[in-house]
Structures are given as structure tokens and as C-alpha cells.
Amino acid sequence: MSHRLFGILLALTFFGWMSPNVFAINVSFFPQKGVMGKRAWDFTLPTVTDKTFTLSESIAGKKAIIFFGTTWCPYCRKQFMKINSVYKEITKKEIVVVFVNVGESKASVKKYLSRNRYDFDVVMDYKESLGELYPFAGIPALFFVDEKGVIKALLYDLPKDYHKFF
């Protein structure tokens, strides 16, 4: 193999692995078993609307999807749209959706929510501290928590049959 061809293949491999598409979707090589069956870790953080959000109080006795993402990530934006399109259906099933923004400013998140006419509140993890508690491999990350507070699944895309993951 020529050095030039080898260099091209190496560059494509490197940039392919660094691609958010590969990182966000092709994460099957990351071990997820350590998360399943554990209680969701409690946290208290501010929201984009200046409320105080405590996970244990908000999801007590209910199923929940904890969504970690950002407004700049194209795959997160796709998940925002996907969840928003079934948001009423999800809440009718008494499933709480917790949107957690990872590391952005309140102004950026408010602008994104307003521009897209989303009316849900977002928990602001300004210091990205929840990544130490919730071991996700990339964003978007969706933790499915049952009514007892136990993590049942960690997915990187909301499936059509999301209700089966609790």
C-alpha cells in the first residue's frame, strides 16, 4: 500500500471516529451494564427558568427519561425534535422527561428553546458535574428510569417503542 493511500485511510479513520455521528450513535463498544439496575443518582440544579430542580422530588414514584444534551449538537437537536413530537404522548403515560443541558449558558439554551417554540423547562448542568454521576459515552444520552428510581436502560436515540425500556 502506498504511503499516500495509507495516509488517506488513516485520516478518514481518525476523522470518522471523531465524528459526532459515530461518537453519538456507534457507542456499542462502551460497557453499559454497570449502569443498569442502579438507582438514578439524585441531584439538585437550577433550571433555565430559574427554578430549583431536584430529581428525586420530580420523579418520585414515576417513570422518567433523563435526557442529556446540548443545543449545539446536531444529534441532540434531532432528539429534542423527536421527543417534542411525542411529548404529549409520553406525559399521558405518566412518564416524566427531564432535559439536562450539559455545560452551556442559560442565554444559549433560552434562545434555542424560544426559537424552536419548546415550552419545556431544562435543567442546567453548567459545570458538567452530572457526567461524573451518569456515565454516558456521548450525547445525546437518554437514561430510562422506572417508578422505583432504578435505571433500566441507557440509549442514545429515542426508539418508537420507548415504553418497553422501563
Q: What is the mean pLDDT of residues 91-115?
A: 97
Q: Which domains does the chain carry? A: 1-30 (no CATH), 32-165 (3.40.30.10)
Beta strand 95-102 with 122-125: parallel, antiparallel or unpaired?
Answer: parallel
Q: What is the mean pLDDT of residues 60-69?
A: 98
On the question of pLDDT at 43 being above 60, the answer is yes
68-78, pLDDT tens digit by residue? 999 999 999 99
On the question of pLDDT at 18 being above 90, the answer is no
Q: Tell me the C-alpha to C-alpha distance, in Å, between residue 157 and each of 127, 136, 140.
A: 24, 13, 7
Give the lowest-confidence range in 17-21, 92-96, 141-145, 161-165: 17-21
Distance CA 97, CA 121 (A): 10
Say what the pLDDT of residue 4 is.
54
Please report the beta strands in the chain, taking only residues with DSSP state E, as ranges in sequence order.
Answer: 44-46, 52-54, 63-69, 95-102, 122-125, 141-145, 151-155
